[in-house]
Structure 1
Amino acid sequence: MMKLHKFNIIVLLLIAPFLLLSCEDFVEVEAPDNKLVQDVVFSSDATAKSAMIGIYNQLFLAAFSNGERSSVTLLAGLSADNFRNINTTNIVRMEFEQNQLVPDNDSNLDIWSSAYNTIYMTNAMLEGLHNSEAITPELEMQLEGEARFVRAFTYFYLVNLYGDVPLILSTNYRENQLAVRNPSADVYIQILEDLQIAMDLLPIDYINEERTQVNKFAATALLARVYLYLEDWEQAETLSSQVINETSKYELLSEVNDVFLANSKEAIWQISPIGGGGLITNTNEGSIFIIDPIFSFFAAIQLEEEFVEVFDETDRRYINWIGYNEGIDAYFAFKYKIWSSTEFPIEEYSMVLRLAEQYLIRAEARARKGDLSGGIEDLDVIRERAGIALVSESNPGIVQQELLDKIFEERRKELFAEWGHRWLDLKRTGRAEEVLGANNPLWESTDLWYPIPAEERMKNPNLSQNSGY
């Protein structure tokens, strides 16, 4: 394992100048330094591949994507109705739970700045590939596809958390430091373009059989989700079907406890703890969500009891994905089973995209189009795996809205504690005010968007603020 750690150190050294050129530090670094770094990083296939691996590794460290206390998974989960803070004196996280964010919330700043730092690295990667004559054409296409995918993925969360956001597509820090917010429609156009190009450039197979580097079907899966959000039901169905039909690579696992294992056949894309560069080999989701029976005083997050009650007691997800700590009388997300580990090989990777979501995307797209039988069929695939009653048997005459409500409920149960799906689903389907406002007297419609961080607006006077802040 010493070789692995040395490799990570080399990668971090290669991309360190890119990290220094984050959105918070554009003005402090002179352009010639960046040119020298690019000459090194893109001087060979090996160093270019190392730089891309460095970007993947950074996703395990970046606040928005690391599954930890300032991640989309945790904070957007708190904004919805699946999680609750155990420690109510933590003002930063309580603001997310109570939908009372203020512009100087530190965790909100962490999401924004880490996302733009990731975007900056992908832009540097794309520019370096374009300017280099040393990279073999096949590898150049692959790396461009990977960088475009990560950029699109990051912008997807920015535009869904903040609405209009600056569309940064270069490393020109003098322009970027004064960038205005672009309409969300324009950001989506770029997301679509990046993902469509990524689909064309990325290989079909996983590199080294590790699902931590994206392939063509990862881009296809994310594009299916984007089209669902854009209410293009036809494209959402078509693209999710392409992933579902790739049965040689993907399978809805019958054993739910196998889903979140490293390189499971249900995984479309995962993030490895190896990106931490240290000895810890557990996922951050495992450490933040599991309430250890001995060290329960470390616990920060529990599941809302109302959410736990939506499960049938025979549901395999209830039995296997929800834990209970008697000492503090709290339910917790137990999708990841390892709270702390230094063992190799690594047993669990953080799940980002998986096959179950594609079935739920296609179920909703079909139901929206009026293909109720197709929607029921896909929904029942998920319900059958969970061991609960099939809609085709219990309610074969279900009408469209009832079916959509069933699909939304199934998304909540299947995708909880994964990337803020519940928060984003409530927003995109127009149900957030009805669902969250009913139990929150402080709720206002402007709470649908997170505030643009105050620190960013101090540095960039061209950044406008969302309404209500």
Structure 2
Amino acid sequence: MFIKKRIKQIIVVFIASISIACEDFVEVDAPDYKIIRDDVFSSEETAKSAMTGIYNELFRTSFSNGSPYSVTVLGALSGNLLKNIRETNLTRMEFHQHQITSENTSNLFFWTSAYNMVYITNAFLEGLQSSENIGSEVKNQLEGEAKFVRAFTYFYLVNLYGDVPLVLTTDYEQNELASRTYSEEIYTQIILDLEDAIEVLTSENQDIRTKVNRYTAMALLARVHLYNQQWQMAEELSSQVISNNSYVLLGELNDVFLANSQEAIWQISPAGRGAATTHTNEGNYFIIDPVFSFLASVQLDENFIEYFNENDLRFSNWISYNESLNAYFPYKYKIWNSNEQPSTEYSMVLRLAEQFLIRAEARLMQDNFTGAIEDINTIRHRAGLAPLSNTNNLETEVLLDEIMEQRSKELFTEWGHKWLDLKRTGRYEILWENDPLWEDTDLLYPIPAEERMKNPNLTQNPGY
């Protein structure tokens, strides 16, 4: 499954933590790895730089960088939020039509980049644990950050592919023949990593939103528990994040996606690109420039546009229109192409609005209708919509519909939320209504054929 001896990549990421790296892998002899790793973990400063390298890699690597191969784009195509402007790009068309082949290159790039990140965090954790030059306080903090990134990566792997190999070591001989692990075990490891992270991470640096802290781990764990229908734990964790005054639901919607936004719980900086351009990939890919509209690849689906109330501020602030293509496009990020220093927009990963929606759903499923409506109205108020009344004796299913609607309108084109919500709630009938080729096996992406050729122990998902 994994390219043999990816040691060169680890060296590049650790040493060039604030410079340029690539996704090419070169075989080197194993002894070199020990020499380099000893250098990387020879001091607290070099170890911190290595962790910065991991954050930077999240912006460079396909699954997490907002590029056409990322969960943001592929998930939005699968969730019928985006559609292709031209039908010539067959790899993207397959995601929108739910007819992904195991040879699809976008699917391959997603899988391999995610497992590259798993491998990098494993190497970092091994080097950190074996180091005798790093104090316990710094070691704990760095361990928590790395475990968070590993859990974050596995969250998307398990939700998009189902059972996947659970790899917790850099032993390439073991990894390259790893078989798939049941989803329940993957989730157990995700929860373990996040609980470990919460235990050791500090709540410092909350003004620097690109660095993981205790509340970042709480926010992701709240989502994990929601997905696993652990309602009470989801509510407790989201409540802790919401009660932290460092995070604010911003009244001005156009400020939400700015660098170090007060609404951000965690962001990824374009500085990780290591190049002169400073725009986000989301802004660069989604915005249809009025002059260079011929470069545009995707637009918002018309059905999603019709879904909005005309008074919804999210429509007027986060969606724009290109007249020449007669196309609406996501406009959460305002910068299409920029070399302005420093970057004024960061890629949003976790933000406070999601925590209100997590808590609303968790409360509803515990029959706390008043609390659920309270949280829904917080989101509706910010969007300029009238509040729901608690005197209407709203039924659970009606309120759940409202929560899903607000999730769709609030979190569109962010990290595949709509696609994952349709899957986890069983509401994907909306897909087969518009797609005569739809089959329930389309809920999972195929294991890439190239990876299965390398690893005979990798089985395929049904339907492929």
Which TM bucket (shorter chain)? over 0.9
What letter corresponds to residue 183 of structure 1 in structure 2? Y
List alignment gaps of at least 5 residues for structure 2. 1-10
Distance 1:15 1:183, change over 3 A: farther
Report what 1:425 is aligned to.
421
What letter corresponds to residue 451 of structure 1 in structure 2? P
Q: CA deviation at 1:345?
A: 2.1
Check whether the contact 1:367–1:400 (CA below 8 A) recurs between aligned residues: yes
Report what 2:215 is aligned to.
217
State the alpha-carbon separation in 2 of the partners of residues 360 and 13 from structure 1.
37
- 1:58-137 aligned within 5 A: 58-137=57-136
Report what 1:326 is aligned to.
323
What letter corresponds to residue 82 of structure 2 in structure 1? F
What secondary structure sits across from 1:320 in the alignment? helix
Report what 1:380 is aligned to.
377
State the alpha-carbon separation in 1 of the partners of residues 12 and 161 from structure 2.
32
Check whether the contact 1:252–1:356 (CA below 8 A) recurs between aligned residues: yes
Q: CA deviation at 1:81?
A: 1.5
What secondary structure sits across from 1:64 in the alignment? helix
Report what 1:3 is aligned to.
none
Are 1:14 and 2:9 matched, yes or no?
Answer: no
State the alpha-carbon separation in 1 of the partners of residues 241 and 267 from structure 2.
16
What letter corresponds to residue 94 of structure 1 in structure 2? M
State the alpha-carbon separation in 1 of the partners of residues 22 and 32 from structure 2.
10
Check whether the contact 1:52–1:143 (CA below 8 A) recurs between aligned residues: yes
State the alpha-carbon separation in 2 of the partners of residues 29 and 239 from structure 1.
44
What letter corresponds to residue 187 of structure 2 in structure 1? Y
Report what 1:343 is aligned to.
340
Report what 1:414 is aligned to.
410
Are 1:438 and 2:433 matched, yes or no?
Answer: yes
State the alpha-carbon separation in 1 of the partners of residues 279 and 131 from structure 2.
37
Check whether the contact 1:383–1:389 (CA below 8 A) recurs between aligned residues: yes
- 1:53-452 aligned within 5 A: 53-206=52-205, 209-247=207-245, 249-392=246-389, 396-432=392-428, 434-452=429-447
What secondary structure sits across from 1:331 in the alignment? strand
Q: CA deviation at 1:389?
A: 1.6
State the alpha-carbon separation in 2 of the partners of residues 380 and 97 from structure 1.
32
What letter corresponds to residue 403 of structure 2 in structure 1? I
What letter corresponds to residue 454 of structure 1 in structure 2? A
What secondary structure sits across from 1:324 in the alignment? strand
Cα displacement string for residues 100-143 of structure 1 (whole angstroms, at most 9, x for unaligned residues): 00001000001100000001010001000110001121110000
What secondary structure sits across from 2:320 in the alignment? strand
State the alpha-carbon separation in 2 of the partners of residues 175 and 44 from structure 1.
30
What letter corresponds to residue 116 of structure 2 in structure 1? N
Report what 2:6 is aligned to.
none
Runs of 4+ in 1 over 6 A off after TM superposition: 19-22
What secondary structure sits across from 2:62 in the alignment? coil
List alignment gaps of at least 5 residues for structure 1. 1-9
Check whether the contact 2:67–2:285 (CA below 8 A) recurs between aligned residues: yes
Identity %: 60
For normalisation by structure 2, the TM-score amounts to 0.95
State the alpha-carbon separation in 2 of the partners of residues 353 and 262 from structure 1.
13
State the alpha-carbon separation in 1 of the partners of residues 280 and 334 from structure 2.
9
State the alpha-carbon separation in 2 of the partners of residues 99 and 372 from structure 1.
36
What letter corresponds to residue 86 of structure 1 in structure 2? I
State the alpha-carbon separation in 1 of the partners of residues 152 and 131 from structure 2.
25
Distance 1:13 1:230, change over 3 A: closer
Cα displacement string for residues 171-213 of structure 1 (whole angstroms, at most 9, x for unaligned residues): 0000000000000000000000000000011110127x32101
Check whether the contact 2:14–2:49 (CA below 8 A) recurs between aligned residues: no
State the alpha-carbon separation in 1 of the partners of residues 159 and 142 from structure 2.
26
State the alpha-carbon separation in 1 of the partners of residues 393 and 383 from structure 2.
22
Q: CA deviation at 1:12?
A: 4.1
Cα displacement string for residues 229-277 of structure 1 (whole angstroms, at most 9, x for unaligned residues): 0000000000000000002x00100000000000111000000000000
Question: How many equivalent residue pairs?
Answer: 452
What letter corresponds to residue 466 of structure 1 in structure 2? N
Report what 1:462 is aligned to.
457
State the alpha-carbon separation in 2 of the partners of residues 390 and 81 from structure 1.
28
What secondary structure sits across from 2:248 in the alignment? coil
Q: CA deviation at 1:370?
A: 0.8
Q: CA deviation at 1:343?
A: 0.5
Check whether the contact 2:14–2:50 (CA below 8 A) recurs between aligned residues: no
RMSD (Å), alpha carbons? 1.7
What letter corresponds to residue 274 of structure 1 in structure 2? A
Q: CA deviation at 1:31?
A: 2.4
Check whether the contact 1:21–1:29 (CA below 8 A) recurs between aligned residues: no
Check whether the contact 2:14–2:51 (CA below 8 A) recurs between aligned residues: no
State the alpha-carbon separation in 1 of the partners of residues 337 and 451 from structure 2.
35
What letter corresponds to residue 420 of structure 2 in structure 1? L
Cα displacement string for residues 61-117 of structure 1 (whole angstroms, at most 9, x for unaligned residues): 110000011000000110012111111110000000000000010000011000000
Check whether the contact 2:14–2:53 (CA below 8 A) recurs between aligned residues: no
State the alpha-carbon separation in 2 of the partners of residues 20 and 55 from structure 1.
11
State the alpha-carbon separation in 1 of the partners of residues 205 and 183 from structure 2.
32
Cα displacement string for residues 268-326 of structure 1 (whole angstroms, at most 9, x for unaligned residues): 00000000001111000000000011110010110011101111111110000000000
Check whether the contact 1:21–1:120 (CA below 8 A) recurs between aligned residues: no
Cα displacement string for residues 35-78 of structure 1 (whole angstroms, at most 9, x for unaligned residues): 11111110011110111000000000110000011000000110
State the alpha-carbon separation in 1 of the partners of residues 405 and 32 from structure 2.
52
What letter corresponds to residue 212 of structure 2 in structure 1? V
